[in-house]
């Protein structure tokens, strides 16, 4: 699993403001459809960008509540929310939400459920804190859609398999409909957001993944350092040759509490 320490948080704080991450966040925000006066939870709120978007939308008579288990992430979100009286940032997790029953109108969680060891427990918590008819928006990558071109497909497959160790569930979107139904939710929409990059744009999703992926597999001894470095060097060469290609689909699932 990835650890969100102060150094990682600082990197993510910058990356989350890039075009790909803004697009990903906007897809969930639009489907959440926050309205004035609503109480909305951001589960796994990270550095707080979605949280502030929600706070603006619900206005001074609404409330945006961010929940995150990482102290550095909470500190960053608190700083971003400074001066906003309608924002609260709390220590908690998707399976232990520090909120009263039926206390929120809506909830959103972006790229969090893929890290959870117990998705049914998280859905049960969401059902508990949402009011009847409340909307839950969950957005995660479907790693079954992950394609990264390489002249050494076996090495690429090895790197991707090793990278899978940083998460718990690589196919959250395909499992959510049945798990949501079992938890008392109805599925309203499933919306794909596909990212394709053939330039390795600075700040883009592929660019953001390369260094952490190489570092993660080496530090956790999942792939020999020489192989991981050769993998990264090959991708750099493919960029220079105009042969780089990366794609993955982020899927937003909209559920409603029955």
- Whether 2 has a pLDDT exceeding 70, the answer reads no
Tell me the pLDDT tens digit for each residue of 66-112. 999 999 999 999 999 999 999 999 999 999 999 999 999 999 999 99
Give dist(CA 211, CA 123) in Å, integer. Answer: 32
Nearest in space to 127 (alpha carbons), one of 165, 181, 54? 181
Over residues 176-196, the mean pLDDT reads 97
- Whether 8 has a pLDDT exceeding 90, the answer reads no
Residue 16's pLDDT is what?
Answer: 67
Domain spans of the chain? Answer: 6-142+167-195+249-257
Nearest in space to 45 (alpha carbons), one of 10, 71, 19, 6? 71
What separation in angstroms does the CA of 192 have from each of 20, 110, 157, 196, 252?
14, 13, 24, 13, 6
Residue 194's pLDDT is what?
Answer: 96
- Return the CATH architecture of domain 6-142+167-195+249-257: 3-Layer(aba) Sandwich (3.40)
Over residues 220-249, the mean pLDDT reads 97
Going by pLDDT thresholds of 50, 70 and 90, the confidence category of residue 207 is confident
Over residues 115-120, the mean pLDDT reads 97
Give dist(CA 75, CA 47) in Å, integer. Answer: 8
3-state secondary structure of 181: helix
Residue 9's pLDDT is what?
Answer: 52
Tell me the pLDDT tens digit for each residue of 124-135. 999 999 999 999
Q: What's the token pair of residue 223?
A: 């792939």
Going by pLDDT thresholds of 50, 70 and 90, the confidence category of residue 22 is confident
Over residues 35-61, the mean pLDDT reads 97
Nearest in space to 42 (alpha carbons), one of 68, 62, 17? 68
Q: What percent of the chain has pLDDT over 90?
A: 86
Tell me the pLDDT tens digit for each residue of 209-221. 898 899 999 999 9
Give dist(CA 246, CA 76) in Å, integer. Answer: 30
Burial zone of 3 (CB within 10 Å; 0-12 exposed, 13-18 middle, 19+ buried): exposed
Which position has the higher pLDDT, 202 or 49? 49
């Amino acid at each position: 699993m990835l650890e969100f320490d102060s150094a990682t948080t600082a990197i993510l704080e910058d990356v989350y403001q890039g075009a790909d991450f803004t697009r990903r966040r906007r897809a969930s925000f639009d489907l959440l459809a926050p309205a004035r006066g609503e109480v909305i939870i951001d589960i796994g709120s990270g550095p707080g960008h979605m949280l502030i978007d929600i706070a603006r939308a619900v206005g001074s008579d609404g409330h945006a509540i961010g929940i995150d288990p990482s102290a550095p992430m909470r500190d960053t979100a608190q700083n971003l929310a400074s001066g906003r009286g309608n924002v609260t940032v709390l220590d908690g997790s998707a399976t232990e939400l520090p909120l009263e029953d039926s206390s929120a109108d809506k909830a959103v969680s972006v790229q969090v459920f893929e890290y959870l060891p117990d998705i049914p427990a998280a859905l049960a918590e969401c059902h508990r804190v949402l009011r009847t008819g409340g909307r839950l928006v969950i957005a995660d990558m479907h790693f079954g859609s992950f394609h990264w071109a390489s002249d050494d497909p076996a090495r690429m497959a090895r790197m991707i398999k090793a990278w899978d160790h940083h998460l718990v569930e690589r196919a959250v979107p395909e499992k959510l409909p049945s798990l949501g139904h079992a938890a008392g939710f109805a599925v309203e929409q499933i919306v794909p957001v596909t990212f394709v990059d053939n330039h390795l744009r600075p700040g883009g999703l592929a660019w953001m993944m390369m260094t952490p992926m190489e570092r993660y597999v080496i530090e956790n001894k999942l792939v020999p350092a020489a192989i991981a470095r050769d993998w990264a060097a090959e991708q750099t060469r493919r960029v220079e040759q105009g042969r780089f290609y990366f794609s993955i689909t982020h899927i937003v699932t909209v559920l409603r509490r029955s």
